[in-house]
Amino acid sequence: MSTLLSVDGLGITFGGLRAVHDVGFSLQPGEILSVIGPNGAGKTTLFNMISGIYHPGAGKVILDGQDVTAMRPDLLARRGMSRTFQNLQIFQNMTVLENAIAGYHLQETGSFMADLFSLPASRARARTAKDGAMELLARVGLDRAAETEAGNLSYGKLKRLEIARALALNPKVLLLDEPAAGCNAVETEEIDHMIAEVAKSGVGILLVEHDMKMVMRISNHIVVLDHGEKIAEGDPATVSQNPAVIAAYLRAEAGADAGAAHA
């Protein structure tokens, strides 16, 4: 199988702090790869470099054999890389369908003049966007909530809507930053199931998630970061028994307890 995404020697420094240093891995089509590590380990920063939000200080990002290091997020999206954010980015007072259509429009390259005069081509595009958006909603199990105002959705459904929007770009690679954050056990399982289905269709998934049960359940491969460096990688069983990984989490927990005690 040909590698979909490879990340090589990626690093960035913020005012002397090495937030990420020399991190590399590769992702195959249909694979679910999780990046885990204690708070502040560098997971989101790594995602921000891969998705073109931060310019890496070192290293390369190769998508489908092409060097896309530091490419703008919208151009990356056109080449097949899509992402969600750790904080929800949903328009609360638009309907579920309107939110999905908003995601769909990002991939359109229709002529501005045609839209301005609402020519037939643009009207046809609007219809296609609506059909496409409805299909997406069905894919994430939200088709029956299409006319609901997004602000009235449960948190789990909001997270699914966010993933639907990222899927509108028809990505080859999907980056999900904490898709189950704030969700209860039932909602988390629904999101699990949905991510697995998306991967089955051949999309490579990069996941950052704190819910370890979910990570262990759905990942094919896990990369562990601590203080910006990769300290381990492998399948879930191997990684969860790795002494360096256990030590990193225990250290982080001890640090948090000490912080709480001083607060």
Ligand X SMILES: Nc1ncnc2c1ncn2[C@@H]1O[C@H](COP(=O)(O)OP(=O)(O)OP(=O)(O)O)[C@@H](O)[C@H]1O
Q: Which of 10, 32, 34, 43 binds ligand X (CB under 6 A)?
A: 43
Token pair of 101, please?
Answer: 């259509």
> Is residue 51 close enough to count as binding Mg ion by CB under 5 A?
no
Cβ proximity to ligand X, 14 vs 121, nearer residue? 14
Task: Give which of 3, 29, 66 is closest to 201, Cα–Cα.
Answer: 29
Distance in Å, CB of 261 to ligand X, minimum: 20
* Residue 19 found at the interface with ligand X (CB under 6 A): yes
Task: Give the 3-state secondary structure of 172-231.
Answer: CEEEEECCCCCCCHHHHHHHHHHHHHHHHCCCEEEEECCCHHHHHHHCCEEEEEECCEEE
Among 1, 2, 16, 39, binds ligand X (CB under 6 A): 39
Phi and psi dihedrals of 204, rounded to 5?
Answer: -85, 130
Options 44, 82, 99, 219; binder of ligand X; rule CB under 6 A: 44
Identify which range of 2-10, 35-43, 68-76, 194-202 contacts ligand X by CB under 6 A: 35-43
Distances (CA, A) of 140 to 146, 191, 202: 11, 9, 16
* Beta carbon nearer to Mg ion, 44 or 188: 44
| Binding status of residue 84 toward Mg ion by CB under 5 A | no
From residue 87, alpha-carbon distances to 41, 49, 144, 180, 208 in Å are: 18, 17, 25, 11, 13
Q: Is 230 in the site for ligand X (CB under 6 A)?
A: no
Establish if 125 lies at the interface with ligand X (CB under 6 A).
Answer: no
What is the Cα–Cα distance from 185 to 208, expressed in whole angstroms? Answer: 17
Residue 37 is a binding residue for ligand X (CB under 6 A): yes
Query: Which residue number, 14 or 182, has a Cβ lying nearer to ligand X?
Result: 14
**Which of Mg ion, ligand X, none binds 41 (CB below 5-8 Å, type-dependent)?**
ligand X
Question: Are the C-beta atoms of 146 and 96 separated by less than 8 Å?
Answer: yes
11, 29 Cβ separation under 8 angstroms: no
Q: Which residues does 237 contact at the CB level (< 8 Å), separation at least 6?
A: none
> Residue 76 touches which of Mg ion, ligand X, none (CB < 5 to 8 A by kind)?
none
Chain-centroid distance, C-alpha 74: 15
44 near Mg ion, rule: CB under 5 A: yes
Piece in contact with ligand X (CB under 6 A), picked from 11-19, 56-64, 98-106, 238-246: 11-19
51 binds ligand X (CB under 6 A): no
Among candidate residues 175, 163, 168, the one with its CA nearest the CA of residue 33: 175
Q: How many residues bind ligand X (CB under 6 A)?
A: 11
Residue 45 within binding range of Mg ion, rule CB under 5 A: no
Q: Does 255 participate in binding ligand X (rule CB under 6 A)? A: no
Among ligand X, Mg ion, none, residue 39 binds (CB under 5-8 Å by kind): ligand X
Query: Which residues of this chain interact with Mg ion, rule CB under 5 A?
Result: 43-44
Query: Which residues of this chain interact with ligand X, rule CB under 6 A?
Result: 14, 17, 19, 37, 39-45
